[in-house]
Chain A
Amino acid sequence: AQSVTQPDIHITVSEGASLELRCNYSYGATPYLFWYVQSPGQGLQLLLKYFSGDTLVQGIKGFEAEFKRSQSSFNLRKPSVHWSDAAEYFCAVGARTGANNLFFGTGTRLTVIP
């Protein structure tokens, strides 16, 4: 069965510092991989996605993520965090066959200190 683990429930970083949010997945084959961001009281917005090809993918708002098949990981990174990045971040995996369902991790809440 598919599962997604985001081991960090809450991360606090200073504005301007670098950021890495961890995501590990369990799946029988290479899934589709996504990172979503949710600002308080809002819906989810797609940051980036990996389908195939280059394992380093670029997204919106200066985020990037790297797919590492050997580690079953898809970690999200940003070199310099802005106060507006404070939000909750969700990693998700989708099957390449069957219905277009996504399985979400439990999320990582990011706090940015001025």
Chain B
Amino acid sequence: NAGVTQTPKFQVLKTGQSMTLQCAQDMNHNSMYWYRQDPGMGLRLIYYSASEGTTDKGEVPNGYNVSRLNKREFSLRLESAAPSQTSVYFCASTTPRGLPSYEQYFGPGTRLTVT
């Protein structure tokens, strides 16, 4: 049981390049999330997927797209990277509301630098 996994761990992009961050969970969770973490700003929600087949914008969605490929996988795409997207990206998942375990489980993060 690996929990939440993310690839890659590190990435350096040039401005204008594109890339996809991958996330997978093996806990049979319904909901998945993408956050970015910047110094002094905590974690901010980019997009989330409440269940397979649905995605919704979070607090800071501009410049990103997501795909909920199946119940396990939720990817985040940067179509044209900008220096402002330099950040650490975390994927998380959670069990459905109403069950005892409501907390989100986090992956190890992807450190992205855009030059």
Contacts and interface: CB of A to CB of B under 8 A. Distances in A.
Interface of A: 4, 9, 32, 34, 36, 42-46, 49, 51, 90, 94, 99-107
Interface in B85-103: 90, 92, 94, 96-97, 102-103
B49 to A, nearest CB: 10
A26 B107 CA distance: 27
B90 A100 contact: no
A90 to B, nearest CB: 6
Contacts of B41: 106
Contacts of B48: 99, 101
Given A99-B31, A99-B48, A100-B50, A32 B102 contact: yes
Nearest to B56: A99
Contact of A44 (B40, B50, B106): B106
Nearest to B49: A99
10 contacts: A9-B40, A32-B102, A42-B108, A49-B102, A100-B94, A100-B97, A101-B33, A101-B45, A104-B43, A106-B41
User: Which 7 pairs of residues, A with B, have the shortest CB-CB distance?
Assistant: A43-B106, A106-B42, A104-B42, A44-B106, A104-B43, A43-B108, A46-B103
A104 B44 CA distance: 7
Interface in B31-73: 31, 33, 35, 40-45, 48, 50, 56, 58
